[in-house]
Amino acid sequence: MERLILDGQALTLAEIEAVSLAGCEVALAPAALRRVVESRGLIEGILAAGETVYGVNTGFGKLSDVRIPPDRLAQLQLNLVRSHAGGVGQPLSEAESRAMVLLRANVLAKGFSGCRPALVEGLVALLNAGVHPVIPEKGSVGASGDLAPLAHLALVIIGEGEAIYKGERMAGGEALRRAGLEPIALAAKEGLALLNGTQAMTAVGGLAVARARRVAKLADLAGAMSLEALMGTPAAFDERIHKARPHRGQIAAAAHLIELLAGSEIREAHRERDSRVQDAYCLRCMPQVHGAARDVLDHVAGVLEIEAGSATDNPLVFPGSPAGTLTGGAVVSGGNFHGAPLAYAFDYAAIALTDLAGITERRIDRLLNPDINEGLPAFLSPDPGLSSGFMIAQIVAAALINECQVLSHPASTGNIPTDGGKEDHVSMGMTGALKLRQIVDNAERITAIEMMCAAQALEFRRPLKSSPEIESAHAKVRSVVRRLGEDRVLSTDIDALAGAVRAGAFDAWVA
């Protein structure tokens, strides 16, 4: 993708990744700019008529009853941005920052926020110039939008805050200057237009879910490699079984496993003398578990893609209705900033991915445990006893699983009223997004551990070879980590292989 045209439309996770990770250029659709002009005209009309409208000429939240005089409206918006930039913690990654800017620009392009075209164009210019606001990851409760993170984004637009430009962290105004951009002086309603929305949780959660979907499909490859190394049977992947229980993800996972295993010498070598009727659940039930995780993540991706093209500002501006007539739909206050749809989805994804990582860890143990690993050496060591082999790898996986189990406790069931009780029910969606991101990190490492162990185990079955697909994947693993002979530090190998997974090095086996 060379250029993404923003029209306020739903964005796919692939499109968000293209801009956030690959630096795809962004442009605004002419129709979007026309809508922005129309909605801004309505705001200007309300101001000229001297009417009172929340967020335009009033205070915010608990202070919404305070009327602000016309000569102080610009200061009102500036104060809003500065006062809400209270985020703490580590900054979001540059990719997550880019995703936030992209999503906010797309939402404003819908023409429901009452801002000037210059504000939307300014966000697009940030993206295309590679100016990335420094946005602390903590401080949002996910209702009234991601106020603190979006305030840090807005600071850079006005020439304040901090930004990353060409790999260097600097003052926001300096980043704009070096990129040849001018700061924007906010007009009435524009600070609120930047701050009210779910773009922080959508950015963090969206990029995490894109990675999670890759892991869920790559689990088929890792599991197939383990099945072969453990002399298991693919009988449980027969399509008749899965058509009898037609969950889409289950059918897809079973078909993928059959495809990966086709033409295996290892399978043919033990087919006739195989006395087992059924394998352990971690092998036999891969379609059911992997497929269920696929279905959950597909659902969550759909929620995110809808949100990416949704108006989440408050109040919303609907041109074409009589100015100031709230019942007519001109400027209407509501709650589209509430993150409940995303918060629930992130918790759902966290649960599914934690369980997916759990079944992966069970296969790791089965490869290493000499009591159940079908004649493979203990811990896949060439010299068990003198060498510990991959013993610690399973322990690391167990530690990561426990962290996932803790992190998969739902954030969305927690509520702490804010803003003097005005905002008395919040989503905690940003917490859910951050937790999910960490679970994905762990799942990538656990998947890498299984692939590393399975590759070693397959080599103990030589001269027999697995299927062409698995042998090709084995070669890819070996291009990243070498065979384990004498004991060595494994953390470097785990991180290298997990990094390759994250970078898409195994995407050829994702289906």
Catalytic residue numbers, as ranges:
54
Q: Which residues of 407-432 are buried (b: 16+ CB within 10 A; e: fewer)?
A: bbebbbeeeeebbeeebeebbbbbbb
- Beta carbons of 503 and 218 less than 8 angstroms apart: no
DSSP 362-376: HHHHHHH-TTTSTTP
3-state secondary structure of 2: coil
Contact 96, 203 (CB under 8 A): yes
Contact (Cβ atoms closer than 8 angstroms) between residue 451 and residue 479 = no
Q: Rounded to an integer, what distance in angstroms lies between the CA atom of residue 21 and that of residue 12?
A: 14
Cα separation, 111 vs 125, in Å, equals 18
3-state secondary structure 124-174: HHHHHHCEEECCEEECCCCCCCCHHHHHHHHHHHCCCCEEEECCEEEEHHH
- Taking the CA atoms of 169, 174, 179 and 184 in sequence, report the sign of the dihedral they define: positive
Which amino acid is located at 487 in the chain? D
162 phi, psi to nearest 5 deg? -130, 155
Sequence-distant (≥ 6) Cβ neighbours of residue 29 within 8 angstroms: 5, 6, 7, 109
Q: How far apart are CA 411 and CA 427, in angstroms?
A: 8
The SS3 of residue 64 is coil
**H helix count then E strand count, the chain:** 19, 9
| Strand (E) or helix (H) holding 355 | helix 340-368
Residues 163, 119 contacting (CB under 8 angstroms): no
Say if strands 316-317 and 168-171 run parallel, antiparallel, or are unpaired: unpaired
SS3 460: coil
Question: What is the Cα–Cα distance from 263 to 458, expressed in whole angstroms?
Answer: 15
- What distance in Å separates the CA atoms of residue 71 and residue 419, rounded to the nearest whole number? 26
Of 167, 2, 192, the residue nearest 81 (C-alpha): 192
